[in-house]
Structures are given as structure tokens and as C-alpha cells.
Amino acid sequence: MTVMMKYDYKSLMSIERERISSVSRKRVINEFYSDRSRIIYCSAFRRLQQKAQVFSLEPNASVRTRLTHSLEVSDLGRTIANRIGNILLKKNIISVRNVPCIVSIVENACLLHDIGNPPFGHFGETAIKEWAKTCIDTALPSNIDQNELLLLLIKDFQEFDGNPQGFRTVTKLYTEHDKHSLNLTYATLLCCLKYVRAAGEDKGEGILKKAGYFQSEKKLVEKIWNTVGVAPHHRYPLTYLMEAADDIAYCMSDIADGIEKNILSEENFCKAFLEEWKSVYGEEKVPVKLPKEYKGFNRDISIPWSKFVMDYAVDNFFSHHEKFYEGSAPELIQKDSQAGKLLNVVKQVSRKRLYTSIQAESIELTGYAVITGILQSYEKMLLMPYGKFLALVNHQEIDNVEVERRLFNRIGARYVDAYKYALEEYSSTSSDFSVYEWWLRTHMLIDHISGMTDEFALETYQMMKGISLMRT
């Protein structure tokens, strides 16, 4: 069978990095193994163990955190990628050496997919976005005009999301070596881009409905697209596999955690599932078997249902291969498919029975208050004139900034370094310098908060409000 050049996966598996690696690796696969090592030894990855999947500050170790969820996503992603890689091999589209590369790239992206999530998950995101809608009025120095540039840049915060923050984390915020952070391969970075527009750009459906990267990383994303040969605002084809693995994992694991916490039982879940299915799809046949006896959620439901969806995902990838390869398809698990309907009903049950539970909602309200409170406390630092803030950055003596100094001293050194590296790109004599500087200063603050664990954010809030003394 003749290889069709339009399916050039080898070129897409780019091992190029922003900084040339100091280690010489003879095998391509070792570049992606190196990516994985950089990810799992990264402190932002470890912090996921204290960030909520659904239930924050959870004492039951069996209930998932963002870390255990990410590990499960990587396992599902590896399985899907391996199946697709071997079919591509059989179709003579890739070589045998390319199969483990595809698997490793997807696995890396799965490990990274939640790394930018702030404390308290989606309610943390909401708190940042809502604060950003008012920050121009409360945290903008008087010397900065609300011009068109500012209104564009501030979209980074008004459209804040864990996805673009994750991309920013791995490309900007680990400055121990230099400004290139983890310095991951272009292939791994592209596979992380679930959404393919910048904050402030026109919204659309599917892959354009959310911001996938901030204005602060826009030039880098465009450079990587151009280098690898991915069309602008198109997905990297392997990203679909990561997204499918995430959808399957959280649908099943959220229910499993609800059962673990005795919010519902397997029997109650199955009854709720059937009720929801009939209300949405009427008499249409359920595509999976419901257990007659309940011996365990994983055995009865999670494993066989996940397998059903994965089988569909693999088949659909090749049924519409050209669209997935060119990155124009909306998603791998189509909403109108049997697999899509199955996941949709599970999600609806979770929304009605889990996410609205008193346990979940109480934590969400707490998280919203915590993140909002920290942001409001830091507004003092954002209101500082650049000259005074620069003195703080350079650890110079300056009067009448005692509170601001103590706020600044709590910000991690890597976030300050990322701010300084980014500021070097802008001339201090430019008419727009003050706008860019304030924008980067605000990013530094959001970076700091996003990097917190749920518990540390709570302790920080309590300390700032005088509720308790932080002794560490």
C-alpha cells in the first residue's frame, strides 16, 4: 500500500524545543520520554495531589484528586493511542518506530491536561474571571488609560481557564534554568492545546469555544504551528485522543467518587441513568448493559462502558481520518453518537446528583470566597506605580509600602523571574510600556494563585483576613 503524503505523522512528531537540549539522544522516542520525566518531576504536577477533582480538601484518600485523575487519563490515553498507532502501522501510514512516539506524546499531554488548574477547580476559574471583569475599576493604576490594547490584554484574565494557564505553566513558569521553562518538545506542547484560539479572539464552536492560550503565549503558539506545519487555529491530530481520554475518565471517576462518599449507590446511579436517558432520548435503546446485580462500580459499569466508548473513539478516528488529521473536527466522541449520548447522560447524572450535593457546593462556595479574597488583597500591589514596584522586585529600600512588600514576598521566585523575562521584550520608552507591564504584573499574581494547592489557598486567605496565623 502506498503511503499518502497528506498523512505525514512523522513530521508532526516534532522533537524541536525552544532551547536545544544539552543531552544528545539517538532515538526519537527518548525525546518524549524526557518530556515525561520533566513533567512528573515538576512541582506543579506534584501539587495536583492537593487540588480537587470534585471534592476539595477530601480526607478520604480513595477519592480522586487532580493528580490521580491525570494518571487515569494518561492510562486511557495510552490505550487509545496504542490502538490507533498500531492501526496506522497496519495501514502503512507510519513506521513501527512511530507507534511508541504517538503513545508517548498522548500520554504526556494527558499528564499535563490539568496542570494549570487553579485551586478549587472550576469555581477557582470563575472567581478569577469575575474579579477580572471589575479589576480595571479597582486594580488599575490611574496613569494607565483604558485603551484598545489594554482591553485586549485583559482578556487573558476575563477568559481565564485551566487550559491556557497549563500551557503557560510549562512554557514560562519554571525559570530555574532559563525563560523556556520545562522546554518540552513542540509535539508535546501542541498535543496539550485542547482549544486553538487566543484569549480575546472571536469565539466559535468546538475547538474555538474557549481560549486555549493567552495573549502572553500567542507568539510562541504561532511559532510552533508554523514550525511543525499545523494550520493556524487547527488542532494537532493527537489532541483528540487526549480529550477523549479525559472525557471518559472524569465521567466514570466522578460517579465512582460519589459512590465512595456515599452520596449515591450503584443502584441509585443506574436508576438515575435510566431516568435521564428516557427523558433525553425517549425509547431509544441504551447502548450498554446495565447490571442486574451490583458487585462493584468498576467491574459492572466503569470498565465495560469505558471500553465501549474507546472502541467507538478508535473507529471514528479512522472513519473521519482526514478531518482529524487536519485538525478541523470538533471532537472525537461525537455528541450524536451512541458513545456521545452515553457520556452525556452520565454527565447529567453527575450534575444533578453529585455537583449539587451539599458537600460539593459547600466547598465550591468556600473556594470562590478564598480566591476572590486573595485577589482583592493583592490589588494593593497592582495599584503600585511601576517605579515603586520595580524597587520591590529589585529588593530595594522604599518607604510606605509595608503591606505591599509583604504581599510581594509571598510570591514564588519563579513567577517573579517569569515576569522579569517577559518584561525584557518591551521597551521602557514605549508609549504602551505601562500597559504591558501592568498586564505582566497581573499575570504574575494569577500565576502565583493558580499554583497554590486548595489547602494552601485556604490557609493564605485565612491569614490575610486575620482568621488564623500561617506558621509555615
| pLDDT for 292 | 86
* Model confidence, pTM: 0.94
| pLDDT for 4 | 44
* pLDDT mean over 256-285: 94
| pLDDT for 185 | 98
Positive or negative, the CA dihedral 412, 65, 207, 320 is: positive
pLDDT tens for 78-113 read 999 999 999 999 999 999 999 999 999 999 999 999
Residue 319: count other Cβ atoms within 10 Å of its Cβ.
11
pLDDT tens for 302-315 read 999 999 999 999 99
Structural domains of the chain, ranges and CATH numbers in brackets:
9-117+161-228 (1.10.3210.10), 239-353 (1.10.3410)
Per-residue pLDDT band for 471 (boundaries 50, 70, 90) equals low
CA angle 9, 14, 18 (to 5 degrees): 160
* pLDDT mean over 59-80: 94
Q: Are 192 and 110 in contact (CB under 8 A)?
A: no
* pLDDT mean over 10-14: 95
Residue 270: count other Cβ atoms within 10 Å of its Cβ.
19
Per-residue pLDDT band for 1 (boundaries 50, 70, 90) equals very low
| pLDDT for 472 | 57
Q: Are 53 and 65 in contact (CB under 8 A)?
A: yes
Q: Are 368 and 279 in contact (CB under 8 A)?
A: no
| pLDDT for 2 | 39
pLDDT tens for 382-392 read 999 999 999 99
